[in-house]
Amino acid sequence: MTETLIEESGPKGPPILFYYAAVIFAVAGLADSAYLTAKHFSGGEVPCSIITGCETVLTSAYAQIFGIPTAAFGAAAYFAAFSLAVFSIYGNTRLWNVFGLLTVLMAAFTVWLVYLQAWVIGAFCQFCLISAATTTLLLLTYLASRLFSKK
């Protein structure tokens, strides 16, 4: 079974294992950002157990874009990444490059958000950092898939 996951993906393209990894990372990011979005709309406090600063970040001026929680945009992006990875598993490997473009855009926005936390807000949110790590894993998965693509 493992050999099948590593080798199957059609005549060209990355091993299918990369698509499955992307699905797992996208679901993790979706869960994280959906949690933050739900907490935003319910008005509940987000518990920070590892670091302090979640409430500072999540109530800052940067926590919303046009009145929509930033985490909701993250949830939409993670859902799109999940969908593109699933379509790639089922044979539409051209969408894998769309996935790559999406992860580059997500990573660029993530760099901006981490910059804001570090230098503008002066506090960090552990759930936001989990999202940043997840986005980084998605981007690295795509980049690694390019290295192992069949020519």
Examine residue 1 and state whether it is found in any structural domain, yes or no.
Answer: no
Closest CA to 140 of 37, 45, 14: 14
Residue in this structure with the two tokens 């979640």, named with its chain if needed: 54
* pTM for this model (two decimals): 0.90
pLDDT, position 23: 98
Closest CA to 102 of 73, 68, 124: 73
CATH for 69: 1.20.1440.130
pLDDT, position 149: 85
Give how many domains the chain has, as a whole number.
Answer: 1
Q: Quick check: 3 pLDDT over 80?
A: no
CB 125 within 8 A of CB 58: yes
pLDDT digits (tens, 9 = 90+) for 51-93: 889 999 999 999 999 999 999 999 999 999 999 999 999 999 8
Examine residue 8 and state whether it is found in any structural domain, yes or no.
Answer: no
How far apart (Å, rounded) are the C-alpha atoms in residues 81 and 94?
A: 14
Examine residue 5 and state whether it is found in any structural domain, yes or no.
Answer: no
Examine residue 97 and state whether it is found in any structural domain, yes or no.
Answer: yes
pLDDT digits (tens, 9 = 90+) for 114-147: 999 999 999 999 999 999 999 999 999 999 999 9
Examine residue 4 and state whether it is found in any structural domain, yes or no.
Answer: no
Average pLDDT over residues 4-26: 77
Domain that holds residue 67: 13-147
Examine residue 55 and state whether it is found in any structural domain, yes or no.
Answer: yes
Examine residue 2 and state whether it is found in any structural domain, yes or no.
Answer: no
